[in-house]
């Protein structure tokens, strides 16, 4: 019993805690499991609302207006009110739609995001489960999202939805290649697939700058490809409001629309968090090699804050893009992937292999 309370500040995942508590008490183990699940679910709800509020405020200020101002102080409860409205609205399923798939699709999309959140190391203690093939797992599970989008678009029995779904399918699958190539660069650097170890491997400096340009190219590739994977502007052609009305979720309303919407925002967070984890050190403070004094000062800021700060910055960047850029065209989008990003990705991977082979980092640690 005391062991559990003492352990609370030790760097462990919730899954590990559950495993350790199991011999002592089944109830504690179960408690940890419930904590993990409920934690992720609550996190998604709160984070979704927070991000939507942030997006609306940021968009407002970009556009010389204030954004939501009425519900609560500076409109802080606006998204709560919106969520309630969406939950209470009638859930319309078109008569000609494939009902089962139509209802299932938003759940698939949301499932993909939940499963990724479970393995994200947000700080040494806030980490639900540390999978030993974390990177591969993330790549595989985030593919669920496209399944939901394809199903949703197809089952709606609407030509605009179908067009949106087909666009999404082509786009997400194409860009997954570039994202994975960029991800492999970090795997090469850190020599592990485990996300927590990738974070720890950056104790001497983040991968974005430690690898003589290879890191930053991989970072840009990953960020651009991930933006395309989550359908954010300038790659938001599956929704393409002015082209396809709303793309794959044209026929969704009420709560099911809210699921798609929520998944989109959580995906944005996931991309930012993953980019931060892989290239910006995750919860690792800003360290420079063996400058112990400097590193000690940086260590005074708690890891949770580092993670939040980096992620928030990247989220802001994504929102900034959205409120500035026009949208690409379908064929231009494909050209960008197959003719530009993919060759760069391969070249970069080879360059990374050379860097790793000769241990040619700033501050090599091994």
Partner 1 sequence: MSVHITTLDDRVRLRQDDSSPLSTQEYFVNMGPQHPSTHGVLRLVLKLDGETVREVIPVLGYIHRGIEKMGEHQSYRQFVHLSDRLDYLSALINNWAVSMTIEKAANIELNDRIQVIRTLMAELQRIQSHQLWWGVFGMDLGAFTPFLYGFRDREIIADIFEETVGARLTMNYIQPGGLMYDIHPGFVKRVKAFLQYFKPKLAEYETLLSGNVILQERLRGVGRMDGQTALSIGATGPVLRASGVPLDLRKSEAYGSYGKVAFDVVIGKNGDCWDRYWVRLEEMRQSMKIVEQLIDNIPEGKHMVMKPAVKIKLPEGCYYNQVETARGILGVYIVSDGKESPYRIHLRTPNFNNLWAITETAANWRLGDLVAILSSLDVVVPDIDR
Applying CB under 8 A, which residues contact partner 1? 59, 62-65, 159-160, 163, 167, 233-234, 236-237, 240-245, 323-332
Q: The tokens of 244 are what?
A: 């396809």
Shortest Å, Cβ 49 to partner 1: 21
Shortest Å, Cβ 321 to partner 1: 10
- Of the pair 325, 338, the CB lying nearest partner 1 is at 325
- Of the pair 62, 77, the CB lying nearest partner 1 is at 62
- Of the pair 160, 269, the CB lying nearest partner 1 is at 160
Instruction: Count Cβ neighbours within 10 Å for each residue of 192-231 and write b for 16 or more, e otherwise.
Output: bbbbbebbbbbebbbbbbbbeebbebbbbbbbbbbbbbbb
Shortest Å, Cβ 223 to partner 1: 16
- Of the pair 162, 273, the CB lying nearest partner 1 is at 162
Q: What is the secondary structure of 289-317 as a DSSP string?
A: TT-HHHHHHHHTS-HHHHHHHHHHHHHHH
Shortest Å, Cβ 162 to partner 1: 10
Contact between 89 and 253 under an 8 Å Cβ cutoff? The reply is: yes
Give 287's DSSP letter: -
Shortest Å, Cβ 247 to partner 1: 11
Q: What is the secondary structure of 84-150 as a DSSP string?
A: HHHHHS-----TTS-HHHHHHHHHHHHHHHHHHHTT--SSSS--S---TTHHHHHHHHTTHHHHHHH
- Of the pair 209, 323, the CB lying nearest partner 1 is at 323
Q: How far from chain centre, in Å, is Cα 271? A: 3
- Of the pair 4, 330, the CB lying nearest partner 1 is at 330
Shortest Å, Cβ 55 to partner 1: 12
Distance CA 269, CA 308 (A): 10
- Of the pair 316, 323, the CB lying nearest partner 1 is at 323
Shortest Å, Cβ 149 to partner 1: 17
Distance CA 360, CA 353 (A): 10
């Amino acid at each position: 019993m005391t062991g559990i309370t003492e352990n609370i500040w030790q760097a462990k995942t919730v899954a590990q805690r559950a495993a350790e508590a199991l011999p002592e008490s089944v109830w504690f183990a179960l408690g940890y499991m419930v904590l993990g699940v409920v934690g992720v679910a609550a996190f998604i709800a709160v984070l979704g609302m927070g991000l939507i509020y942030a997006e609306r405020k940021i968009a407002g200020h970009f556009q010389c207006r204030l954004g939501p101002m009425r519900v609560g102080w500076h409109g802080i409860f606006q998204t709560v009110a919106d969520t309630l409205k969406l939950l209470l609205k009638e859930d319309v399923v078109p008569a000609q739609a494939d009902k089962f798939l139509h209802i299932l699709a938003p759940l698939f999309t949301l499932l993909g995001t939940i499963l990724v959140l479970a393995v994200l190391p947000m700080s040494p203690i806030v980490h639900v489960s540390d999978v030993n093939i974390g990177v591969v797992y993330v790549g595989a599970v985030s593919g669920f999202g496209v399944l939901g989008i394809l199903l949703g678009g197809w089952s709606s029995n609407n030509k605009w939805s179908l067009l949106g779904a087909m666009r999404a399918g082509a786009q997400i699958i194409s860009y997954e290649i570039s994202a994975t190539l960029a991800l492999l660069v970090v795997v090469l650097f850190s020599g592990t697939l485990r996300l927590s170890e990738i974070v720890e491997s950056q104790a001497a400096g983040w991968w974005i700058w430690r690898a003589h340009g290879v890191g930053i190219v991989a970072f840009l590739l990953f960020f651009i490809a991930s933006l395309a994977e989550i359908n954010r502007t300038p790659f938001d052609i599956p929704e393409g409001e002015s082209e396809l009305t709303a793309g794959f979720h044209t026929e969704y309303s009420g709560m099911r629309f809210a699921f798609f919407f929520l998944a989109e925002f959580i995906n944005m967070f996931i991309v930012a968090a993953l980019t931060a984890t892989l290239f910006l050190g995750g919860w690792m403070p800003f360290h420079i090699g063996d400058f112990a004094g400097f590193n000690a000062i940086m260590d005074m800021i708690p890891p949770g804050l580092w993670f939040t700060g980096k992620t928030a910055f990247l989220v802001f960047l994504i929102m900034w893009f959205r409120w500035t850029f026009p949208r690409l065209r379908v064929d231009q989008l494909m050209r960008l992937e197959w003719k530009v990003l993919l060759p760069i990705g391969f070249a970069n991977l080879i360059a990374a292999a050379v860097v790793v082979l000769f241990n040619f980092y700033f501050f090599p640690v091994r």
